[in-house]
Amino acid sequence: MAIIGILVSALAAMKVYEQELSIDRIALARAVDTHANLVQERLSERELLTRVAVGLFRSPSFDMTHALQPLRTSIYAFKTDFVVAAWIARVPRTALAQAQAQLLGAGIPEPVLRNAEGGPAGTLPDPASVIMDVEPQTDATRVFVGRAIDDHPVAGPMLRRALQEDKPVSSDPLPLLRDDGPIGIVLAAPVHGEAGAGVAGFLTISYRLAPLMLANDEMSTFAVALRDPRDATKNLSADPDGRVDAVPLTLDADNPPLLRVVSFGARDWTLIYYAKSNAAARARDLALVVAGIGAALTVILCGLFGYVSYNNVRLSREVQTRIDFERRLTAVIDELNHRVKNILAVIQSIVTRTLRHGADIDIARELLIGRIHAMSHVVTLLSESQWQGVNLRGLLESRAIPHAERIVVNGPDLVVSARAAQSLSLLFFELASHADEGLSLVGKHPHIAAQWSVVGEGAEAMFHFRWEEFNTSAATRRADSEFGIVLLDRVAPEALGGTANRYFTDVSYVYELSAPMVTVVDEYEKGRTERIGAPVR
């Protein structure tokens, strides 16, 4: 009986050890994945904001010391880890004297061209990469203006790679502003000059490394570090005050770290996650306790066996429930990431097409703000409905499109899918934004009628939408923009699997859209969202 009791106790201890270790590792992996996803989203946001800034930025043809003036009021959108932005001009040898004269006129503390360390410039390459403007302009930053950084051991290779690949590139970690300054990363984006002129310079934005990649909750179950790209045997870790230090790489066979890779500035960065507690030791201690209890209670072997069996079943159910929950949570996060990436791709396309070279900046800014506001409005409506669809009338409210008070809406109540709602929201804004220029044929603003109907039943049902601006003509209505024509004629119809037509009558402008109801409503998309969002039972 004693032998049987010992064997049962050992078996129970092994089972408890495996289950406890499995639960801890699953929880740690989930927390690590969540943190890595947040870091990647933060990095993608910084890179997207840099691309937007480059799209708004125009390479100056004169007075390079004020190149950042158009961005000074908006550059602080680059979040709390932003340190300094700089305009690095590629100055030809023939223009070095002009650049030095501009430094003198701008009141720079050292209005002469210098090398990366601040000493005499010597012989500079042609063209030379010279810092001509910084933001914020403080005593600590203005000393860098006028320095040629082609020979800088970190910034020089970064600029050459950005020039070669023609896209934003990140640097190795380096101290910012001074030798003992905070450790950070510089993101350099090439800025093209006039058409055919090549790269005129670089817009660089520096971020502190600690809040960018190493920010972590004190209550979390892990500590995060970054593998030093300069020395693979060391890690970069941040203390509670945000100071980053290089420490030797440590490995523990009982408590191995988890690795996650994120991308930023056309390169991969490896995050290393160390568990704050040793799951194997804790599971081992718990297993020893169970084994001791089992050995002490061998006299009641049958009762102990029943208890362990019941406890194992309960623990197995809990583990399975947690695994199912983790799988469902992973699916939800993947779905959310997919939708966020789609929205960011749409916004990037809107920004790129709206701010094309040659566009009037005031009109482009107004259209860009309106189009992004339309996307924001439809995302708000989808969030309120848990992405189950949007009432079509809600897309024609004054919060979403201009001049909604002049639109007569007529049509049955209809809930369209998330994908259709995003396309229709941009479509309605584009139509409404071009109905506000000048007066109509009778001296008043055009009267607008928006109506839709559903013809047929089942799989053969068709959705018909008609937009008509009365008392207008091709001479009084503002012509559709290039982005608007692509959206009206191709993007919106293809997204809904239908066709579109726009034309002028004697007294009105008409836009018609026809699409199958199965793509407008998309019950499969709604059912899939409902299944993913359902609670685990």
Residue 20 vs residue 338, higher pLDDT: 20
Looking up residue 490, the CATH number of its domain turns out to be: 3.30.565.10
Residues 132 and 164 in one domain: yes
Query: Helix (H, G, I), strand (E, B), or coil: what is residue 189?
Result: strand
Q: Is 273 part of any domain?
A: no
Across 425-450, average pLDDT: 70
For tokens 């159910």, name the residue. 317
Of 24-28, 264-268, 288-292, 455-459, which gets the smallest average pLDDT? 288-292
User: pLDDT tens-digit profile of 41-98?
Assistant: 989 988 888 888 787 766 655 567 788 877 776 666 655 678 899 999 998 988 888 8
CA distance 310 to 319: 14
Q: Please, what is the end-to-end C-alpha distance for the chain in angstroms?
A: 41
Q: What is the pLDDT of residue 392?
A: 85
The answer to whether position 271 is within a domain reads no
Q: Is the dihedral of CA 247, 249, 253, 255 positive or negative?
A: positive
* 501-520 average pLDDT score: 90
Considering the domain architecture, whether residues 444 and 331 belong to the same structural domain is answered as no
Domain range for 185 = 1-206+280-358
Task: Name 222's bridge partners.
Answer: 275
- Predicted confidence (pLDDT) at residue 441 exceeds the cutoff of 50: no
Model confidence pLDDT, tens digit, residues 278-326: 767 776 777 677 777 877 777 666 666 667 677 777 777 888 878 877 7
pLDDT at 533 over 70: no
Would you state the pLDDT for residue 199? 87
pTM (predicted TM-score): 0.52
Mean pLDDT throughout 146-156? 91
User: Hey, what are 125's tokens?
Assistant: 């390459």
Question: Is the pLDDT assigned to residue 521 strictly greater than 90?
Answer: no
Q: Quick one: residue 291, left, alpha or beta (phi over 0 = left, psi -120 to 50 = alpha)?
A: alpha
358-379 per-position pLDDT tens digit: 566 776 677 777 777 777 777 7
For residue 157, what pLDDT band results from cuts at 50, 70 and 90?
very high
| Residue linked to tokens 């840099």 | 50
What confidence score (pLDDT) does residue 260 get? 92
Q: Please state, in angstroms and rounded to a whole number, the distance separating the CA atoms of residues 298 and 294.
A: 6
Scan for tokens 């930023």, then name that residue: 264
Give the residue carrying structure tokens 């690949």: 165
Q: Where are the alpha helices (DSSP H) in 243-356?
A: 279-296, 301-354
Specify burial of residue 165 (Cβ count, 10 A radius: 0-12, 13-18, 19+).
Answer: exposed
Q: How many domains does the chain have?
A: 2
Tell which wins on pLDDT, 459 or 218: 459
pLDDT band at 268 (very low <50, low <70, confident <90, very high): very high
Q: Using an 8 Å Cβ cutoff, are 104 and 145 in contact?
A: no
Quick one: 24 and 132 in the same domain? yes
Please say which residue of 336, 358, 380 terminates a domain.
Answer: 358
- pLDDT value of position 119: 87
Residue 144 near residue 134 (C-beta atoms within 8 A): yes
Task: Please choose, from the candidates 427, 422, 395, the residue with its C-alpha nearest in 3D space to the C-alpha of residue 409.
Answer: 395
Same domain? For 473 and 515 the reply is: yes
Average pLDDT, the chain: 80
Binned at pLDDT 50, 70 and 90, residue 438 comes out as very low
In a domain, 145, yes or no: yes
Length of the chain in residues, anyone?
Answer: 537
And the tokens for 479?
């012509």
pLDDT of 506 reads 85
Identify the band that residue 499 occupies on the pLDDT scale cut at 50, 70 and 90: very high
For the ranges 56-65, 167-176, 233-242, the lowest mean pLDDT is seen at: 56-65
Same domain for 402 and 333? no
Q: Which two tokens stand for residue 411?
A: 């049509």
DSSP assignment of 469-521 equals: EES--TTTSPPPPHHHHHIIIIIHHHHHT-EEEEEE-SSEEEEEEEEEHHHHH
Contact 464/514 with Cβ under 8 angstroms? Answer: yes
Amino acid 501: pLDDT: 93
| Residue 242 included in any domain | no
In this structure, are 369 and 491 located in the same domain?
Answer: yes
Give the C-alpha distances (Å, rounded to integers) separating 202 from 25, 61, 82, 272.
Answer: 45, 14, 17, 32
**Whether residue 48 sits in one domain with residue 38:** yes
The residue-averaged pLDDT of 439-458 equals 74
Number of neighbours of residue 97 by Cβ within 10 angstroms: 11
507 falls within a domain: yes
- Distance, CA of 344 to CA of 347 (rounded, Å): 5
* CA dist., res. 115 & res. 146, Å (int): 8
Give the tens place of pLDDT for each residue, 86-137. Answer: 999 998 988 888 888 888 888 888 888 888 888 888 888 889 999 988 988 8
Contacts of 531 (CB under 8 A, 6+ apart): none
pLDDT value, residue 535: 54
Contact at 8 Å (CB) between 364 and 354?
A: yes
- Residue range 439-447: mean pLDDT, rounded: 55
Per-residue 3-state assignment (H helix, E strand, C coil) for 404-461:
HHHEEEECCCCEECHHHHHHHHHHHHHHHHCCCCCCCCCCCCCEEEEEEEEECCHHHC
Same domain, 49 and 89: yes
Q: Which of 23-37, 70-84, 238-252, 481-495 shows the highest mean pLDDT?
A: 23-37
**pLDDT at res. 60:** 59
Kindly state whether residue 399 falls inside one of the protein's structural domains.
yes
> pLDDT digits over 377-436, tens only?
777 777 776 777 788 888 887 676 777 788 889 999 888 888 888 888 888 888 888 765
pLDDT at 454 over 70: yes
Q: Supply the pLDDT for residue 105.
A: 82
What is the largest distance, in Å, between two alpha-carbon atoms of the chain? 105
188/42 same-domain check: yes
Give yes or no: residues 401 and 486 share one domain: yes
Say yes or no: 313 and 401 in one domain.
no
Q: Which of 358, 381, 401 is the last residue of a domain?
A: 358
For the beta carbon of residue 475, count every other beta carbon within 10 angstroms: 8
Strands (E), 193-267: 199-208, 222-227, 234-238, 244-248, 258-263
In whole angstroms, give the CA distance from residue 33 to residue 25: 12
Q: What is the pLDDT of residue 442?
A: 47
Q: Which of 318, 338, 358 is the last residue of a domain?
A: 358
User: Which 3 state secondary structure label does DSSP give 145?
Assistant: coil
103 with 48, same domain: the answer is: yes
70 domain-assigned? yes
* Alpha carbons 171 and 261: distance in angstroms, whole number: 17
Q: Let me know if residue 467 belongs to a domain.
A: yes
